[in-house]
Structure 1
Amino acid sequence: MQVVIEKRGASLKVKDGQLIIKHGDQVQALAFNTIDSIVLSKATVLTAEVVAQAVEHQIDLLFVARGGKPFARLWSPYFGSIATIRRHQLLFSRSPEAVAWMKNVLTRKMENQQALLYALAMPNHATDKIIESAVLKIEEDKQRLQQIEGAKLADLSPRLRAVEGQATRRYFQAVNIHLPEMYRFGQRSRRPALDMTNAMLNYAYGMLYGRMESALIKAGLDPMIGFMHREEYNRPVLTYDCIELFRTWADWVVFDLCRQQVIFREFFEVEAGGYWLAHPAKRILIQHLTDFFEDQIEWEGLTRSRYTHMSLFAQRLAALLKEYKTDKNKK
């Protein structure tokens, strides 16, 4: 279970071996063995004993910024595994195999975008043609992606990202038309978001980043050694690479909330034209994200929660890298 503390002034302590969460007159007690991560806002107070218990129970502690993205974390020294994986991770990042791996991830991302668009389609509605056109264009983008050839991602990344970016713009343009008018947006905007929907997308992606980075660390991978995003200094670039496959899960939660019209402008703080989620919007979005990602679904032949599927993806990548051999050390 992931525990998210987003209320200002909340405090955490340990009592009788349990995690005690207090905010005002509200008090909640949780057993540590039921928690796998705790997400904290800046305005949260916790004791050193909470940190010690988190380490003992291998619970990830994430500190998130206003937009939902982690800016710091504390994790157990028991996370991870042998250094072989990290050495191979660096070698793999410079190999032709990394090119194939990244192209596969981006292709599957585009397939997920196509599937989400079909899910938004309304039978016999005029916008069906918009969905169909976008899906066909994204299919062309997938073919263009596969036609990009080369041995090193460092050389190919700009071209791969250009194709992926084009497909994503088509996707958002088609989605936008299917949202109620008050939630429509001209384009993706970040730091800050310029509208309600982008603010929700940014916050949802931030939560997804934290969960993906935790899965990579627990699998023994180094989030700082990426493949396609490898040139970004002091950033968890492998997280950015891996998250591409799962973005549409977060998208669906946000778009579904928009279509239900349950989040309104007064649920946001607007400063200098930028939109930030206030407590009501955070509460609704976090609850829906948690419920959606804890749902059991069949994916790659296994029925697990979406959160578990993300962890299994990281574990499979770690297993691949552990056994990876370059031409120089192949026997």
Structure 2
Amino acid sequence: MKHINITGRGSFLGISKELLVLKEGKELVKQWPLRRIRTIRLMGDGMSISTNLLSECAHYGIAVYIFDFRGRPLIQISGAHQHAVVELRKHQMKAVDSEVVSKIAAKIIYGKVRNQRATLLYYAKAWSEEPNRANFLIDAASEIDRFAQIIRKMEWASRVDWQSALLGYEGSAARVYWQTIKEQGLMGLDFPGRTGRDADDVMNSALNFGYAILTSFVWSAVTQAGLEPYLGVFHANRPGKPSLILDIMEEYRPWTVDRIVMRMRGRLLENRSLTESTKKELIARIHSQWAKPYPYRKKRVRLEAILQRQVYRLCGEFAGNKSYQPYLFRW
């Protein structure tokens, strides 16, 4: 199943005989069979899409995502016939209001911190012929792992302040992670550090764009499972904020986005801005990552399928009949 990403201003998406049609002006650029599409993503401003296509997307179960020019998700469109299961969402709501929520949050954040560690060790291995730089990364990874073990061993359910304490350890690990990336030039020598959504440097812009792509992968998996995307476990629940999507994303950010952006740093820094061509290359690399098989329960499984299975296991944790464990990447 394909994920279609459109980035060009002036692009038009329509339908012709069960084919998704992409046009630029009057010129036909490309077409794809609808039956082979899983999601459509409009990444930026100045594009249009026909209502006939939206109707067919609903029929085929194709989700449509619209992002703003900064890569922030604005709209998610899906058909009226979703996979929402009333009992599952009742379990989700009950779990979020119980002590179980602290355990689930700790598992997700533990997974994120461990995957930050794995990302640094991946580069330490790549720099094996530069022992000083490799050892610096190994030391930072060990410091990050110290926070991970605190998160794993703490009895969070017994703490009234579990959320602030847990996010404090997450923040401490993140400071080590991003400071190490900055000092070792993994995002380039002029990288200012992680500056968030309103960044204007090319590396942070690429990270934000990559996280937007990750958002749609996670949203698709959550919708397929039937969970409520706006009811999360540790991101604040506010109107219009897909808190559960943001929660689940945390585990996958370091390996599936940060690592890929680091690998593209030469190309990105050469252009000094996130151009149309670098966006397309970043999309292609991230898609390739999600199509790649990884070890999962003694098998080799595509990463996108692993994400879906992990979301189903989270459903089981909410219902009380399975134990959720984060997916840890190996370097």
TM-score (norm 2): 0.88
Once residues 45 and 234 of structure 1 are traced to their aligned partners in structure 2, the CA distance between those partners, rounded to angstroms, is 23
Which residue identity does 1:16 align to in structure 2?
K
Q: Percent identity?
A: 22
Once residues 186 and 135 of structure 2 are traced to their aligned partners in structure 1, the CA distance between those partners, rounded to angstroms, is 18
Which residue identity does 1:18 align to in structure 2?
L
Q: 1:301 to 1:176 in 2, by over 3 A?
A: farther
More displaced stretch, 242-251 vs 41-50:
41-50
Give 1:139's aligned residue: 145
Give 1:51's aligned residue: 54
Once residues 19 and 181 of structure 1 are traced to their aligned partners in structure 2, the CA distance between those partners, rounded to angstroms, is 37
Contact 2:181 2:187 in 1 (8 A): no
Give 2:263's aligned residue: 256
More displaced stretch, 147-156 vs 115-124:
147-156
Give 1:31's aligned residue: 33
Q: In the alignment, which of 50, 65, 73 is matched to residue 70 of structure 1? A: 73
Give 2:195's aligned residue: 189
Q: 1:226 to 1:4 in 2, by over 3 A?
A: same
SS in 2 for 1:30: strand
Contact 1:216 1:314 in 2 (8 A): yes
Give 2:293's aligned residue: 296
SS in 1 for 2:222: helix
CA apart distance, 1:103? 1.2
Stretches of structure 2 that go unaligned for 5 or more consecutive residues are 323-331
Q: 1:242 to 1:83 in 2, by over 3 A?
A: same
**Residue 166 of structure 2 is aligned to residue 165 of structure 1:** no
Contact 2:104 2:233 in 1 (8 A): no
Q: In the alignment, which of 225, 238, 242 is matched to residue 219 of structure 1? A: 225
Give 1:274's aligned residue: none
CA apart distance, 1:9? 0.6
Q: 1:108 to 1:182 in 2, by over 3 A?
A: closer
Give 1:85's aligned residue: 88
Can you list the C-alpha shifts for 1:234-281, whole angstroms capped at 9, x where unaligned? 3111111111111121111111111xx12235452xxxxxxxx33122
Stretches of structure 1 that go unaligned for 5 or more consecutive residues are 269-276, 326-331
Once residues 46 and 218 of structure 1 are traced to their aligned partners in structure 2, the CA distance between those partners, rounded to angstroms, is 23
CA apart distance, 1:320? 3.2
Give 1:19's aligned residue: 20
Give 2:157's aligned residue: 151
Q: How does 1:193-212 map to 2 (within 5 A)?
A: 193-212=199-218
Contact 2:88 2:315 in 1 (8 A): yes
Which residue identity does 1:144 align to in structure 2?
I
Once residues 219 and 247 of structure 1 are traced to their aligned partners in structure 2, the CA distance between those partners, rounded to angstroms, is 21
**Residue 300 of structure 2 is aligned to residue 307 of structure 1:** no
Give 2:329's aligned residue: none
Give 2:245's aligned residue: 239
Once residues 159 and 84 of structure 2 are traced to their aligned partners in structure 1, the CA distance between those partners, rounded to angstroms, is 26
TM-score (norm 1): 0.88
More displaced stretch, 179-188 vs 110-119:
179-188
Can you list the C-alpha shifts for 1:26-77, whole angstroms capped at 9, x where unaligned? 5211001110000013321111110111011100000011122211011122
**Residue 289 of structure 2 is aligned to residue 282 of structure 1:** no
Once residues 206 and 272 of structure 2 are traced to their aligned partners in structure 1, the CA distance between those partners, rounded to angstroms, is 11
Q: 1:180 to 1:217 in 2, by over 3 A?
A: closer
Contact 1:297 1:305 in 2 (8 A): yes
Give 1:127's aligned residue: 133
Query: What value does the CA root-mean-square deviation take over the aligned residues?
Result: 2.2
Q: 1:223 to 1:17 in 2, by over 3 A?
A: same
Can you list the C-alpha shifts for 1:74-133, whole angstroms capped at 9, x where unaligned? 112222232111111111012222222221221122221111111111124211231122
SS in 1 for 2:104: helix
CA apart distance, 1:166? 1.0
